[in-house]
Amino acid sequence: MEMLIGGTWQSAASGRTEDVTSPFDGTVTGTVPVADAADVRAALDRAEVGAVTWRRTPAHERMRVLMRAAELADERAEQTAQVISAEAGKAIIEARGEASRSGDLIRLAAFEGTQLYGDSLPLDANRGTGLDKLGFTIHQPVGIVVAITPFNYPALLVMHKLAPALAAGNAVVLKPARATPLTALALARCFTDAGLPDGVLSVVTGPGAGNGPGNRQGLGDALVTDPRVRKVSFTGSTATGQRITQVAGIKKLSLELGSSCPVVVLPDADIELAASAVAVGGYVNAGQVCISVQRVITHPAVAADFLDALVPKVEAIKTGDPGFPDTTMGTLITAAEAERVERSIRDAVARGAKLLTGGERDGAIVSPAVLAGVDPRSPFSQDELFGPAVAVSSAEDFQSAIAQANGSPYGLGAGIFTSDVAGAVRAIREIDAGSVHINWTPLWRADLMPYGGLKASGIGKEGPRSAVAEMTDTKTVILHGRPW
Ligand code: NAP
Protein backbone atom coordinates (compact mmCIF):
# COMPACT_ATOMS: atom_id res chain seq x y z
CA MET A 1 0.00 0.00 0.00
CA GLU A 2 1.24 3.52 -0.76
CA MET A 3 1.23 6.54 1.55
CA LEU A 4 -0.36 9.89 0.77
CA ILE A 5 1.77 12.92 0.01
CA GLY A 6 -0.36 15.98 -0.62
CA GLY A 7 -3.04 14.03 -2.50
CA THR A 8 -0.68 11.70 -4.41
CA TRP A 9 -0.46 8.06 -3.39
CA GLN A 10 3.23 7.14 -3.53
CA SER A 11 6.16 5.16 -2.10
CA ALA A 12 8.82 6.51 0.25
CA ALA A 13 11.62 8.43 -1.49
CA SER A 14 14.03 5.77 -0.20
CA GLY A 15 11.83 2.97 -1.54
CA ARG A 16 11.86 1.28 1.90
CA THR A 17 8.79 -0.62 3.07
CA GLU A 18 7.77 -2.63 6.15
CA ASP A 19 5.09 -5.19 6.94
CA VAL A 20 2.21 -4.55 9.31
CA THR A 21 1.40 -7.74 11.21
CA SER A 22 -1.46 -9.08 13.31
CA PRO A 23 -0.63 -9.13 17.02
CA PHE A 24 -2.80 -12.25 17.33
CA ASP A 25 -1.05 -14.62 14.92
CA GLY A 26 1.67 -12.64 13.15
CA THR A 27 -0.12 -12.69 9.77
CA VAL A 28 1.03 -9.91 7.44
CA THR A 29 -1.97 -7.61 7.07
CA GLY A 30 -0.32 -5.08 4.76
CA THR A 31 2.92 -3.43 3.70
CA VAL A 32 3.54 0.31 3.98
CA PRO A 33 6.32 2.74 3.02
CA VAL A 34 8.90 3.68 5.64
CA ALA A 35 9.09 7.45 5.26
CA ASP A 36 12.03 9.57 6.34
CA ALA A 37 12.80 13.27 6.67
CA ALA A 38 12.82 13.73 2.86
CA ASP A 39 9.21 12.50 2.66
CA VAL A 40 8.23 14.77 5.55
CA ARG A 41 9.73 17.74 3.68
CA ALA A 42 7.80 16.75 0.54
CA ALA A 43 4.54 16.48 2.52
CA LEU A 44 5.10 19.88 4.16
CA ASP A 45 6.02 21.48 0.80
CA ARG A 46 2.72 20.22 -0.60
CA ALA A 47 0.88 21.27 2.57
CA GLU A 48 2.11 24.86 2.17
CA VAL A 49 0.32 25.02 -1.18
CA GLY A 50 -2.69 23.02 0.06
CA ALA A 51 -3.15 25.27 3.09
CA VAL A 52 -3.59 28.29 0.82
CA THR A 53 -6.00 26.49 -1.51
CA TRP A 54 -8.15 25.19 1.36
CA ARG A 55 -8.12 28.43 3.33
CA ARG A 56 -9.46 30.20 0.24
CA THR A 57 -12.20 27.59 -0.17
CA PRO A 58 -15.53 28.85 1.28
CA ALA A 59 -16.80 27.02 4.36
CA HIS A 60 -19.90 25.75 2.51
CA GLU A 61 -17.70 24.10 -0.11
CA ARG A 62 -15.43 22.58 2.56
CA MET A 63 -18.57 21.25 4.19
CA ARG A 64 -19.77 19.70 0.92
CA VAL A 65 -16.49 17.77 0.52
CA LEU A 66 -16.53 16.65 4.14
CA MET A 67 -20.15 15.48 3.97
CA ARG A 68 -19.21 13.31 0.97
CA ALA A 69 -16.22 11.94 2.92
CA ALA A 70 -18.61 11.13 5.79
CA GLU A 71 -20.86 9.15 3.42
CA LEU A 72 -17.86 7.21 2.15
CA ALA A 73 -16.70 6.52 5.73
CA ASP A 74 -20.17 5.12 6.48
CA GLU A 75 -20.22 2.98 3.31
CA ARG A 76 -16.74 1.61 4.10
CA ALA A 77 -17.28 1.11 7.86
CA GLU A 78 -17.23 -2.70 7.70
CA GLN A 79 -13.98 -2.71 5.66
CA THR A 80 -12.45 -0.26 8.12
CA ALA A 81 -13.51 -2.44 11.07
CA GLN A 82 -11.80 -5.46 9.50
CA VAL A 83 -8.59 -3.46 9.02
CA ILE A 84 -8.67 -2.18 12.64
CA SER A 85 -9.23 -5.68 14.01
CA ALA A 86 -6.50 -7.21 11.83
CA GLU A 87 -3.75 -4.69 12.57
CA ALA A 88 -4.59 -3.85 16.22
CA GLY A 89 -5.88 -7.23 17.43
CA LYS A 90 -9.08 -5.53 18.56
CA ALA A 91 -12.16 -7.75 18.94
CA ILE A 92 -14.24 -7.30 15.78
CA ILE A 93 -17.35 -6.28 17.74
CA GLU A 94 -15.36 -3.39 19.25
CA ALA A 95 -13.71 -2.54 15.93
CA ARG A 96 -17.17 -2.26 14.32
CA GLY A 97 -18.25 0.16 17.04
CA GLU A 98 -15.16 2.27 16.48
CA ALA A 99 -15.38 2.31 12.68
CA SER A 100 -19.06 3.25 12.75
CA ARG A 101 -18.29 6.57 14.49
CA SER A 102 -16.19 8.08 11.68
CA GLY A 103 -19.04 9.34 9.50
CA ASP A 104 -20.86 11.14 12.31
CA LEU A 105 -17.64 12.57 13.62
CA ILE A 106 -16.85 14.08 10.22
CA ARG A 107 -20.39 15.52 10.06
CA LEU A 108 -20.09 17.07 13.54
CA ALA A 109 -16.75 18.64 12.63
CA ALA A 110 -17.99 19.81 9.22
CA PHE A 111 -20.80 21.68 10.93
CA GLU A 112 -18.41 23.31 13.43
CA GLY A 113 -16.26 24.43 10.51
CA THR A 114 -19.21 26.50 9.29
CA GLN A 115 -19.71 28.17 12.68
CA LEU A 116 -16.58 30.31 12.95
CA TYR A 117 -18.42 33.31 14.36
CA GLY A 118 -16.36 36.22 15.67
CA ASP A 119 -17.13 38.92 18.25
CA SER A 120 -18.06 42.55 17.77
CA LEU A 121 -15.95 44.76 20.10
CA PRO A 122 -17.58 47.67 22.01
CA LEU A 123 -14.48 49.84 21.52
CA ASP A 124 -16.22 53.05 22.60
CA ALA A 125 -16.47 51.62 26.14
CA ASN A 126 -12.70 52.17 26.30
CA ARG A 127 -12.01 55.72 27.49
CA GLY A 128 -10.62 57.90 24.69
CA THR A 129 -12.24 55.85 21.94
CA GLY A 130 -15.29 57.20 20.12
CA LEU A 131 -17.87 55.86 17.73
CA ASP A 132 -15.62 56.42 14.71
CA LYS A 133 -13.97 53.02 15.07
CA LEU A 134 -15.36 49.54 14.59
CA GLY A 135 -13.70 46.43 16.00
CA PHE A 136 -14.39 42.75 15.51
CA THR A 137 -12.65 39.39 15.50
CA ILE A 138 -12.43 36.82 12.74
CA HIS A 139 -11.21 33.23 12.94
CA GLN A 140 -8.94 31.76 10.34
CA PRO A 141 -7.26 28.38 9.92
CA VAL A 142 -3.83 28.13 11.54
CA GLY A 143 -2.35 26.83 8.27
CA ILE A 144 -0.54 23.50 8.57
CA VAL A 145 -1.56 21.05 11.32
CA VAL A 146 0.59 18.04 12.18
CA ALA A 147 -1.44 15.19 13.67
CA ILE A 148 0.29 12.32 15.46
CA THR A 149 -1.81 9.40 16.68
CA PRO A 150 -1.43 6.25 18.82
CA PHE A 151 -2.30 2.63 18.05
CA ASN A 152 -5.19 2.01 20.42
CA TYR A 153 -8.03 3.69 18.46
CA PRO A 154 -6.56 3.83 14.96
CA ALA A 155 -9.76 5.21 13.39
CA LEU A 156 -11.35 7.27 16.14
CA LEU A 157 -8.28 9.20 17.22
CA VAL A 158 -7.21 9.85 13.64
CA MET A 159 -10.70 11.18 12.87
CA HIS A 160 -10.73 13.39 15.98
CA LYS A 161 -7.81 15.24 14.38
CA LEU A 162 -8.36 15.04 10.62
CA ALA A 163 -12.02 16.03 10.64
CA PRO A 164 -11.75 19.24 12.71
CA ALA A 165 -8.46 20.28 11.11
CA LEU A 166 -9.96 19.98 7.63
CA ALA A 167 -13.29 21.48 8.66
CA ALA A 168 -11.47 24.54 9.98
CA GLY A 169 -9.69 24.97 6.63
CA ASN A 170 -6.20 23.66 7.44
CA ALA A 171 -3.82 21.41 5.57
CA VAL A 172 -2.89 18.34 7.62
CA VAL A 173 0.06 15.98 7.73
CA LEU A 174 -0.82 12.86 9.72
CA LYS A 175 1.72 10.45 11.22
CA PRO A 176 -0.24 7.41 12.43
CA ALA A 177 1.16 4.84 14.86
CA ARG A 178 3.64 2.49 13.24
CA ALA A 179 1.60 -0.51 14.43
CA THR A 180 -1.66 0.71 12.84
CA PRO A 181 -1.06 2.74 9.66
CA LEU A 182 -3.49 0.78 7.45
CA THR A 183 -6.63 2.16 9.11
CA ALA A 184 -5.33 5.74 8.77
CA LEU A 185 -4.57 5.24 5.07
CA ALA A 186 -8.03 3.76 4.47
CA LEU A 187 -9.69 6.74 6.18
CA ALA A 188 -7.55 9.23 4.25
CA ARG A 189 -8.88 7.66 1.06
CA CYS A 190 -12.42 8.71 2.07
CA PHE A 191 -11.27 12.35 1.96
CA THR A 192 -9.31 12.12 -1.29
CA ASP A 193 -12.16 10.19 -2.97
CA ALA A 194 -14.56 12.88 -1.74
CA GLY A 195 -12.65 15.50 -3.73
CA LEU A 196 -10.32 17.09 -1.18
CA PRO A 197 -7.97 19.31 -3.22
CA ASP A 198 -4.34 18.34 -3.78
CA GLY A 199 -1.89 19.32 -1.08
CA VAL A 200 -4.44 19.44 1.73
CA LEU A 201 -3.88 15.98 3.24
CA SER A 202 -0.81 13.81 3.69
CA VAL A 203 -0.33 10.59 5.64
CA VAL A 204 3.31 9.66 6.21
CA THR A 205 4.01 6.17 7.55
CA GLY A 206 7.11 5.15 9.49
CA PRO A 207 8.81 5.52 12.86
CA GLY A 208 7.91 8.38 15.18
CA ALA A 209 11.12 8.29 17.21
CA GLY A 210 14.65 8.45 15.84
CA ASN A 211 17.39 5.96 16.52
CA GLY A 212 19.37 8.24 18.83
CA PRO A 213 22.21 10.67 18.17
CA GLY A 214 23.86 10.42 14.78
CA ASN A 215 21.27 8.01 13.45
CA ARG A 216 18.25 8.49 11.25
CA GLN A 217 15.90 11.26 12.43
CA GLY A 218 12.42 10.08 13.43
CA LEU A 219 9.38 11.42 11.60
CA GLY A 220 8.16 12.96 14.87
CA ASP A 221 11.03 15.43 15.25
CA ALA A 222 11.06 16.21 11.52
CA LEU A 223 7.36 17.11 11.68
CA VAL A 224 7.05 18.93 14.97
CA THR A 225 10.21 21.06 14.65
CA ASP A 226 9.39 22.44 11.20
CA PRO A 227 8.56 26.16 11.56
CA ARG A 228 5.94 25.94 8.78
CA VAL A 229 3.81 23.80 11.09
CA ARG A 230 1.55 26.07 13.16
CA LYS A 231 -0.15 23.43 15.28
CA VAL A 232 0.76 19.99 16.58
CA SER A 233 -2.13 17.82 17.68
CA PHE A 234 -0.70 14.81 19.47
CA THR A 235 -2.29 11.82 21.19
CA GLY A 236 0.00 9.29 22.83
CA SER A 237 2.11 8.67 25.88
CA THR A 238 3.12 11.34 28.37
CA ALA A 239 6.80 10.59 27.63
CA THR A 240 6.38 11.37 23.92
CA GLY A 241 4.26 14.42 24.74
CA GLN A 242 7.05 15.67 26.97
CA ARG A 243 9.55 15.23 24.13
CA ILE A 244 7.28 17.20 21.78
CA THR A 245 7.04 20.12 24.22
CA GLN A 246 10.84 20.21 24.36
CA VAL A 247 11.46 20.39 20.61
CA ALA A 248 8.37 21.91 18.99
CA GLY A 249 9.29 25.59 19.25
CA ILE A 250 6.68 28.32 19.02
CA LYS A 251 3.50 26.72 17.77
CA LYS A 252 0.16 25.66 19.16
CA LEU A 253 0.15 22.30 20.95
CA SER A 254 -2.65 19.96 21.92
CA LEU A 255 -1.47 16.97 23.91
CA GLU A 256 -3.80 14.07 24.77
CA LEU A 257 -1.61 11.92 27.01
CA GLY A 258 -1.57 9.05 29.48
CA SER A 259 -3.52 8.38 32.63
CA SER A 260 -4.26 6.12 35.59
CA CYS A 261 -7.98 6.73 35.92
CA PRO A 262 -9.70 6.26 39.30
CA VAL A 263 -13.21 5.19 40.21
CA VAL A 264 -14.50 5.84 43.73
CA VAL A 265 -17.20 3.56 45.17
CA LEU A 266 -18.85 5.17 48.20
CA PRO A 267 -20.80 3.18 50.83
CA ASP A 268 -24.14 4.44 49.46
CA ALA A 269 -23.35 3.30 45.89
CA ASP A 270 -25.37 0.87 43.80
CA ILE A 271 -22.76 -1.90 44.05
CA GLU A 272 -24.18 -4.01 41.23
CA LEU A 273 -24.11 -1.00 38.89
CA ALA A 274 -20.56 -0.09 39.95
CA ALA A 275 -19.30 -3.66 39.42
CA SER A 276 -20.99 -3.93 36.00
CA ALA A 277 -19.51 -0.61 34.87
CA VAL A 278 -15.98 -1.44 36.09
CA ALA A 279 -16.18 -4.85 34.39
CA VAL A 280 -16.59 -2.91 31.14
CA GLY A 281 -14.46 0.18 31.86
CA GLY A 282 -11.34 -1.69 32.93
CA TYR A 283 -11.25 -4.13 30.03
CA VAL A 284 -12.52 -2.53 26.81
CA ASN A 285 -9.82 -2.86 24.13
CA ALA A 286 -7.84 -5.05 26.57
CA GLY A 287 -7.45 -2.04 28.86
CA GLN A 288 -5.55 -0.10 26.19
CA VAL A 289 -7.69 3.00 26.52
CA CYS A 290 -6.50 6.27 28.00
CA ILE A 291 -9.76 6.50 30.00
CA SER A 292 -9.62 2.88 31.13
CA VAL A 293 -10.42 2.22 34.79
CA GLN A 294 -7.09 1.45 36.43
CA ARG A 295 -7.81 2.12 40.10
CA VAL A 296 -10.97 1.42 42.10
CA ILE A 297 -11.13 3.02 45.53
CA THR A 298 -13.81 1.41 47.69
CA HIS A 299 -15.10 2.15 51.16
CA PRO A 300 -14.25 -0.81 53.48
CA ALA A 301 -17.98 -1.30 54.22
CA VAL A 302 -18.69 -2.26 50.59
CA ALA A 303 -15.30 -3.57 49.41
CA ALA A 304 -16.14 -7.28 49.81
CA ASP A 305 -19.56 -6.96 48.14
CA PHE A 306 -18.02 -4.99 45.28
CA LEU A 307 -15.32 -7.62 44.65
CA ASP A 308 -17.85 -10.46 44.90
CA ALA A 309 -19.93 -8.73 42.21
CA LEU A 310 -16.95 -7.75 40.02
CA VAL A 311 -14.94 -10.97 39.74
CA PRO A 312 -17.56 -13.19 38.00
CA LYS A 313 -18.32 -10.40 35.52
CA VAL A 314 -14.62 -10.09 34.66
CA GLU A 315 -14.32 -13.86 34.36
CA ALA A 316 -17.16 -13.79 31.82
CA ILE A 317 -15.07 -11.70 29.38
CA LYS A 318 -14.16 -13.96 26.46
CA THR A 319 -10.63 -13.65 25.09
CA GLY A 320 -9.46 -15.17 21.82
CA ASP A 321 -9.22 -14.61 18.08
CA PRO A 322 -10.17 -10.94 17.54
CA GLY A 323 -11.87 -11.87 14.26
CA PHE A 324 -14.42 -14.16 15.95
CA PRO A 325 -17.78 -12.52 16.65
CA ASP A 326 -18.06 -13.98 20.17
CA THR A 327 -14.64 -12.73 21.31
CA THR A 328 -15.17 -9.81 23.66
CA MET A 329 -11.50 -9.02 24.36
CA GLY A 330 -8.68 -9.25 21.83
CA THR A 331 -4.92 -8.94 22.14
CA LEU A 332 -2.61 -6.26 23.39
CA ILE A 333 -0.81 -4.47 20.58
CA THR A 334 2.26 -6.76 20.78
CA ALA A 335 3.39 -9.81 22.72
CA ALA A 336 6.08 -7.56 24.27
CA GLU A 337 3.35 -5.27 25.66
CA ALA A 338 1.52 -8.33 27.02
CA GLU A 339 4.76 -9.42 28.73
CA ARG A 340 5.11 -5.94 30.26
CA VAL A 341 1.56 -6.10 31.67
CA GLU A 342 2.13 -9.63 32.97
CA ARG A 343 5.31 -8.42 34.74
CA SER A 344 3.46 -5.46 36.30
CA ILE A 345 0.80 -7.80 37.70
CA ARG A 346 3.45 -10.14 39.12
CA ASP A 347 5.29 -7.19 40.64
CA ALA A 348 2.07 -5.93 42.32
CA VAL A 349 1.51 -9.40 43.80
CA ALA A 350 5.12 -9.49 45.04
CA ARG A 351 4.40 -6.18 46.80
CA GLY A 352 1.43 -7.67 48.64
CA ALA A 353 -1.57 -7.30 46.32
CA LYS A 354 -3.96 -10.25 45.97
CA LEU A 355 -4.66 -11.51 42.46
CA LEU A 356 -8.32 -12.53 42.48
CA THR A 357 -8.54 -13.59 38.84
CA GLY A 358 -6.69 -13.45 35.51
CA GLY A 359 -3.23 -12.15 34.73
CA GLU A 360 -2.09 -15.14 32.65
CA ARG A 361 -0.51 -14.51 29.27
CA ASP A 362 -0.89 -16.41 26.02
CA GLY A 363 1.07 -14.67 23.25
CA ALA A 364 -0.29 -11.13 23.07
CA ILE A 365 -3.38 -11.95 25.16
CA VAL A 366 -3.49 -11.32 28.92
CA SER A 367 -6.53 -12.72 30.72
CA PRO A 368 -8.53 -9.94 32.43
CA ALA A 369 -7.30 -9.46 35.98
CA VAL A 370 -8.58 -8.05 39.28
CA LEU A 371 -6.10 -7.25 42.06
CA ALA A 372 -7.24 -6.36 45.59
CA GLY A 373 -5.31 -4.70 48.40
CA VAL A 374 -3.11 -2.71 46.01
CA ASP A 375 -0.94 -0.04 47.63
CA PRO A 376 -2.10 3.28 46.11
CA ARG A 377 1.50 4.53 46.07
CA SER A 378 2.85 1.47 44.23
CA PRO A 379 3.82 1.59 40.53
CA PHE A 380 0.77 -0.55 39.74
CA SER A 381 -1.44 2.36 40.79
CA GLN A 382 0.79 5.27 39.88
CA ASP A 383 2.12 4.30 36.43
CA GLU A 384 -0.18 3.91 33.46
CA LEU A 385 -0.83 0.17 33.02
CA PHE A 386 -2.52 0.18 29.60
CA GLY A 387 -3.60 -3.41 30.08
CA PRO A 388 -6.61 -5.49 31.19
CA ALA A 389 -6.34 -5.26 34.97
CA VAL A 390 -7.98 -3.23 37.71
CA ALA A 391 -6.33 -2.38 41.05
CA VAL A 392 -8.72 -2.23 44.00
CA SER A 393 -7.76 -0.41 47.19
CA SER A 394 -9.75 1.06 50.05
CA ALA A 395 -10.24 4.44 51.71
CA GLU A 396 -11.84 5.03 55.12
CA ASP A 397 -13.76 8.20 54.30
CA PHE A 398 -14.78 10.57 51.54
CA GLN A 399 -11.82 12.92 51.97
CA SER A 400 -9.21 10.19 51.80
CA ALA A 401 -10.98 8.58 48.80
CA ILE A 402 -10.78 11.88 46.89
CA ALA A 403 -7.15 12.35 47.96
CA GLN A 404 -6.36 8.86 46.66
CA ALA A 405 -8.20 9.54 43.40
CA ASN A 406 -6.14 12.72 42.95
CA GLY A 407 -2.94 11.04 44.12
CA SER A 408 -1.37 10.25 40.75
CA PRO A 409 0.50 12.48 38.30
CA TYR A 410 -2.41 12.14 35.85
CA GLY A 411 -5.84 13.71 35.55
CA LEU A 412 -7.72 12.49 32.49
CA GLY A 413 -10.98 10.94 33.70
CA ALA A 414 -12.61 9.78 36.93
CA GLY A 415 -15.82 8.14 38.06
CA ILE A 416 -17.72 8.14 41.33
CA PHE A 417 -20.53 5.83 42.38
CA THR A 418 -22.90 7.25 44.99
CA SER A 419 -26.63 7.79 45.53
CA ASP A 420 -26.03 11.04 47.40
CA VAL A 421 -26.22 14.18 45.28
CA ALA A 422 -24.26 16.23 47.82
CA GLY A 423 -21.34 13.79 47.68
CA ALA A 424 -21.52 13.80 43.90
CA VAL A 425 -21.35 17.59 43.75
CA ARG A 426 -18.41 17.68 46.12
CA ALA A 427 -16.58 15.03 44.10
CA ILE A 428 -17.23 16.92 40.85
CA ARG A 429 -15.59 19.98 42.36
CA GLU A 430 -12.67 18.25 44.07
CA ILE A 431 -11.53 15.56 41.65
CA ASP A 432 -8.80 16.86 39.34
CA ALA A 433 -9.70 15.23 36.04
CA GLY A 434 -10.67 16.47 32.60
CA SER A 435 -13.94 14.55 32.82
CA VAL A 436 -15.84 13.33 35.88
CA HIS A 437 -18.61 10.74 35.61
CA ILE A 438 -21.25 10.24 38.25
CA ASN A 439 -22.54 6.67 38.47
CA TRP A 440 -20.41 5.51 35.57
CA THR A 441 -16.71 5.02 34.94
CA PRO A 442 -14.50 7.40 32.93
CA LEU A 443 -14.66 4.96 30.03
CA TRP A 444 -17.44 6.77 28.25
CA ARG A 445 -17.22 9.33 25.47
CA ALA A 446 -19.68 11.13 23.25
CA ASP A 447 -17.65 12.41 20.33
CA LEU A 448 -19.01 15.94 20.56
CA MET A 449 -18.02 16.52 24.17
CA PRO A 450 -14.87 18.45 25.19
CA TYR A 451 -12.30 15.78 25.96
CA GLY A 452 -8.80 16.17 27.38
CA GLY A 453 -6.80 15.82 30.54
CA LEU A 454 -5.39 17.88 33.37
CA LYS A 455 -1.92 17.56 34.97
CA ALA A 456 0.36 15.05 33.17
CA SER A 457 -2.60 13.90 31.04
CA GLY A 458 -2.21 16.80 28.67
CA ILE A 459 -3.01 20.24 27.34
CA GLY A 460 -6.09 21.30 25.39
CA LYS A 461 -9.39 19.70 24.47
CA GLU A 462 -10.60 17.54 21.61
CA GLY A 463 -14.18 17.07 20.49
CA PRO A 464 -15.18 18.79 17.25
CA ARG A 465 -16.14 22.20 18.68
CA SER A 466 -13.05 22.46 20.93
CA ALA A 467 -10.70 21.08 18.28
CA VAL A 468 -11.97 23.44 15.57
CA ALA A 469 -11.44 26.34 17.99
CA GLU A 470 -7.91 25.14 18.80
CA MET A 471 -7.10 24.69 15.11
CA THR A 472 -7.95 28.28 14.23
CA ASP A 473 -6.33 31.62 15.04
CA THR A 474 -8.25 34.68 16.12
CA LYS A 475 -7.52 37.94 14.36
CA THR A 476 -8.64 41.31 15.76
CA VAL A 477 -9.68 43.85 13.12
CA ILE A 478 -10.12 47.60 13.71
CA LEU A 479 -11.72 49.90 11.15
CA HIS A 480 -10.48 53.45 11.79
CA GLY A 481 -13.06 56.00 10.63
CA ARG A 482 -12.88 59.74 11.33
CA PRO A 483 -14.59 61.60 14.21
CA TRP A 484 -17.67 63.38 12.95
P1 NAP B 1 3.37 6.68 21.87
O2 NAP B 1 4.41 5.63 21.94
O3 NAP B 1 3.62 7.96 22.57
O4 NAP B 1 3.09 6.92 20.32
C5 NAP B 1 2.10 7.80 19.87
C6 NAP B 1 2.50 8.35 18.52
O7 NAP B 1 3.67 9.16 18.68
C8 NAP B 1 2.88 7.26 17.52
O9 NAP B 1 2.46 7.66 16.24
C10 NAP B 1 4.40 7.26 17.61
O11 NAP B 1 5.02 6.75 16.46
C12 NAP B 1 4.66 8.74 17.75
N13 NAP B 1 5.99 9.07 18.27
C14 NAP B 1 6.91 8.27 18.85
N15 NAP B 1 8.01 8.99 19.18
C16 NAP B 1 7.78 10.26 18.78
C17 NAP B 1 8.53 11.47 18.86
N18 NAP B 1 9.74 11.52 19.41
N19 NAP B 1 7.98 12.60 18.37
C20 NAP B 1 6.73 12.59 17.83
N21 NAP B 1 5.98 11.47 17.72
C22 NAP B 1 6.50 10.32 18.21
O23 NAP B 1 1.97 6.13 22.42
P24 NAP B 1 1.28 4.75 22.07
O25 NAP B 1 1.99 3.68 22.82
O26 NAP B 1 1.08 4.61 20.60
O27 NAP B 1 -0.17 4.99 22.69
C28 NAP B 1 -0.47 4.76 24.01
C29 NAP B 1 -0.48 6.03 24.81
O30 NAP B 1 -1.39 6.96 24.25
C31 NAP B 1 -0.96 5.81 26.23
O32 NAP B 1 -0.13 6.53 27.10
C33 NAP B 1 -2.36 6.38 26.22
O34 NAP B 1 -2.85 6.81 27.46
C35 NAP B 1 -2.20 7.51 25.28
N36 NAP B 1 -3.51 7.92 24.76
C37 NAP B 1 -4.06 9.08 25.22
C38 NAP B 1 -5.33 9.47 24.79
C39 NAP B 1 -5.98 10.72 25.30
O40 NAP B 1 -6.96 11.14 24.72
N41 NAP B 1 -5.48 11.34 26.36
C42 NAP B 1 -6.01 8.68 23.87
C43 NAP B 1 -5.41 7.50 23.43
C44 NAP B 1 -4.16 7.14 23.87
P45 NAP B 1 5.44 5.18 16.39
O46 NAP B 1 4.18 4.41 16.49
O47 NAP B 1 6.11 5.08 15.09
O48 NAP B 1 6.34 4.93 17.57
Assign 353 a pLDDT band (cuts: 50, 70, 90): very high
Choosing from 87, 94, 98, 256, which is the catalytic residue?
256
Nearest CA to ligand 1 atom 34: 258
78 labelled catalytic: no
DSSP conformation letters of 125-191: GSTT--TTEEEEEEEEE-SEEEEE--SSSTTHHHHHHHHHHHHTT-EEEEE--TT-HHHHHHHHHHH
Distance 312 CA to ligand 1 centre (A): 33
Q: For 187-204, what is the mean pLDDT?
A: 98
Q: Which atom of ligand 1 is nearest to the CA of 451?
A: 40
What's the pLDDT score for residue 50? Answer: 98
Q: For 19-48, what is the mean pLDDT?
A: 98
Q: Which atom of ligand 1 is nearest to the CA of 458?
A: 41
Nearest CA to ligand 1 atom 10: 208
Nearest CA to ligand 1 atom 37: 257
pTM: 0.98
User: Rg of the chain over CA atoms, in angstroms?
Assistant: 24
Q: Which atom of ligand 1 is nearest to the CA of 240?
A: 3
The dihedral region occupied by 243, where left means phi > 0, alpha psi between -120 and 50, and beta the remainder, is: alpha
pLDDT for 246-287, tens place per residue?
999 999 999 999 999 999 999 999 999 999 999 999 999 999
Distance 453 CA to ligand 1 centre (A): 15
Report the run of H or E that residue 424 belongs to, with start and end: helix 421-430
The dihedral region occupied by 289, where left means phi > 0, alpha psi between -120 and 50, and beta the remainder, is: beta
Distance 178 CA to ligand 1 centre (A): 10
Q: Which atom of ligand 1 is nearest to the CA of 243?
A: 18
pLDDT of 117 higher than 70: yes
What's the pLDDT score for residue 212? Answer: 56
What's the pLDDT score for residue 308? Answer: 98
**Phi, psi dihedral angles at 300 (to 5 degrees):** -55, -30
Strand partners, 21: 28
pLDDT for 273-329, tens place per residue?
999 999 999 999 999 999 999 999 999 999 999 999 999 999 999 999 999 999 999
Q: In this structure, how many other beta carbons lie within 10 angstroms of the beta carbon of residue 179?
A: 19
Around 330, how many Cα atoms within 13 Å sit in the side-chain half-sphere? 27
pLDDT for 417-463, tens place per residue?
999 999 999 999 999 999 999 999 999 999 999 999 999 999 999 99
pLDDT for 133-190, tens place per residue?
999 999 999 999 999 999 999 999 999 999 999 999 999 999 999 999 999 999 999 9
Nearest CA to ligand 1 atom 20: 220
Nearest CA to ligand 1 atom 31: 237
**Cα separation, 68 vs 85, whole angstroms:** 25
* Pocket lined around ligand 1, Cβ cut-off 6 Å: 148-152, 157, 175, 177-178, 207-209, 218, 220-221, 224, 235-237, 240, 243-244, 256-259, 290, 384, 386, 412, 453, 457-458
Pocket test for ligand 1, best of 148, 240, 291 (most atoms within 8 A of CB): 240
Nearest by Cα to 257 from 398, 390, 148, 412: 412
What's the pLDDT score for residue 213? Answer: 54
What's the pLDDT score for residue 210? Answer: 86
256 labelled catalytic: yes
Within 8 A by CB and 6+ apart from 429, the residues are: none
Distance 221 CA to ligand 1 centre (A): 13
Number of H helices, E strands in the chain: 16, 24
Pocket test for ligand 1, best of 90, 153, 156, 235 (most atoms within 8 A of CB): 235
Distance 371 CA to ligand 1 centre (A): 27
pLDDT for 207-239, tens place per residue?
999 875 555 679 999 999 999 999 999 999 999
Choosing from 290, 342, 384, 462, which is the catalytic residue?
290
Distance 234 CA to ligand 1 centre (A): 8
Nearest CA to ligand 1 atom 35: 236
Nearest CA to ligand 1 atom 42: 290
What's the pLDDT score for residue 216? Answer: 65
Question: What mean pLDDT, rounded, does the chain reach?
Answer: 97
Nearest by Cα to 6 from 130, 167, 174: 174
Helix, strand, coil abundance in the chain, percent, nearest 5 = 40, 20, 40
